[in-house]
């Protein structure tokens, strides 16, 4: 984990000409580096640089720093295994067979994205945000950070600082867990604030269904519970595309697939 944070720091400190070049417009490009969230769509930028790399089902990696490839391969595999274990437990907690979620959402070709975030010190932190309030699109996001706080999560309408323990992994629930569980698990609303002293680095590993899976509330769950599906079915790829092509705005994308008055 430490090595991943160090190598990410190295990446952000590379001369600009050594960083991967890409068109920020294409949100499904497997290696993207940029500022804010989607600078092609935003009027106000976030105080943040990011590197996003699709690491599963196909592994991609920037060429520099050279140490990144091996570390990232190991880190994405280990975090994927951890997510697999969580997902099997979640499946059972919903009264489903252990592998139901893995099979239905085709997790053998799950989309896993590395998101490295770099938040430099900001002279007027009260006027800026690192990342605005949002929920993540996948099932689970595993987050690590250098020891500079900044992540906040919302609970019962109030914002709380997450004071992560050293060497800990924070697990955030994502929109597709909420959809599959028909709202039994809620995706967590979170944001990143900035400070005027230290650079903060965080690494989020998002773990979702496979891109071509059409996700809806689990039919077995709905049947067992005798309730109605509370979300409309949507292909994960379309969901991702739509969420990433609009400014981040709370749970607005999830609300678009939520069946109202249910």
Ligand X SMILES: O=C(O)CCC(=O)C(=O)O
Binding site for ligand X (CB under 6 A): 115, 117, 131, 136, 143, 145, 151, 190, 192, 202, 204
Q: Is 100 near Fe ion (CB under 5 A)?
A: no
Residue 135 touches which of ligand X, Fe ion, none (CB < 5 to 8 A by kind)? none
To the nearest whole angstrom, how small is the minimum distance from the Cβ of residue 132 to ligand X?
10
The tally of CA atoms less than 13 A away on the side-chain side of residue 166 is: 1
The interface with Fe ion within residues 11-50 (CB under 5 A) comprises none
C-beta of 100 vs 145, nearer to ligand X? 145
CB of 116 to ligand X, least distance (A): 9
114 closest CA partner among 55, 64, 36, 32: 55
The three-state secondary structure class of 145 is: strand
Residue nearest to Fe ion as judged by C-beta position: 136
Q: CA separation (Å) from 54 to 40, 76, 114, 240? A: 20, 10, 6, 13
Q: Which does 101 bind (CB under 5 to 8 A by kind): Fe ion, ligand X, none?
A: none
Minimum distance between the CB of residue 200 and ligand X, rounded to whole angstroms?
Answer: 7
Q: Which helix (H) or strand (E) holds 86?
A: helix 68-93
- State how far the Cα of 23 lies from the Cα of 126, in Å rounded to an integer: 31
Task: Give the list of residues 6+ apart from residue 202 with CB closer than 8 angstroms, or none.
Answer: 116, 117, 119, 143, 144, 145, 146, 150, 151, 192
Question: Closer CB to ligand X, residue 33 or residue 100?
Answer: 33
Q: How far is the CB of 199 from Fe ion (least distance, A)?
A: 19
The answer to whether 175 contacts Fe ion (rule: CB under 5 A) is no
- Give 216-243 as a DSSP string: -S-HHHHHHHT----B--EEHHHHHHHH
Tell me the two tokens of residue 233. 């079915």
Q: How far is the CB of 80 from ligand X (least distance, A)?
A: 17
Task: Give the nearer residue to ligand X in terms of CB position, either 56 or 190.
Answer: 190
Site track 103-142 with Fe ion (rule: CB under 5 A), x = hit: ---------------------------------x------
- Binding residues for Fe ion, rule: CB under 5 A, are 136
């Amino acid at each position: 984990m430490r090595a991943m944070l160090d190598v990410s720091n190295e990446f952000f400190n590379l001369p600009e000409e050594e960083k991967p070049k890409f068109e920020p417009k294409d949100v499904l490009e497997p290696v993207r580096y940029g500022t804010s969230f989607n600078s092609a769509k935003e009027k106000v930028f976030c105080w943040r640089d990011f590197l996003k790399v699709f690491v599963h089902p196909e592994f991609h990696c920037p060429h520099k720093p050279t140490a990144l490839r091996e570390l990232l391969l190991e880190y994405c595999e280990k975090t994927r295994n951890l997510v697999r274990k969580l997902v099997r437990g979640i499946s059972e907690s919903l009264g489903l067979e252990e592998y139901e979620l893995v099979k239905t959402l085709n997790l053998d070709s799950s989309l896993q994205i590395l998101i490295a975030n770099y938040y430099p010190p900001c002279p007027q932190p009260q006027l800026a945000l690192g990342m605005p309030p949002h929920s993540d699109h996948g099932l689970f996001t595993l987050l690590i950070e250098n020891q500079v706080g900044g992540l906040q999560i919302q609970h019962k309408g109030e914002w709380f600082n997450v004071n992560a323990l050293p060497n800990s992994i924070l697990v955030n629930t994502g929109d597709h867990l909420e959809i599959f569980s028909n709202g039994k698990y809620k995706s967590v609303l979170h944001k990143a604030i900035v400070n005027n002293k230290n650079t903060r680095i965080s690494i989020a590993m998002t773990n979702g269904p496979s891109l071509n899976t059409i996700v809806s509330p689990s039919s077995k769950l709905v049947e067992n519970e005798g309730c109605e599906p509370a979300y409309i079915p949507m292909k994960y790829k379309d969901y991702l595309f739509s969420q990433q092509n609009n400014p981040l705005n709370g749970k607005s994308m999830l609300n678009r697939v939520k069946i109202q008055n249910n």
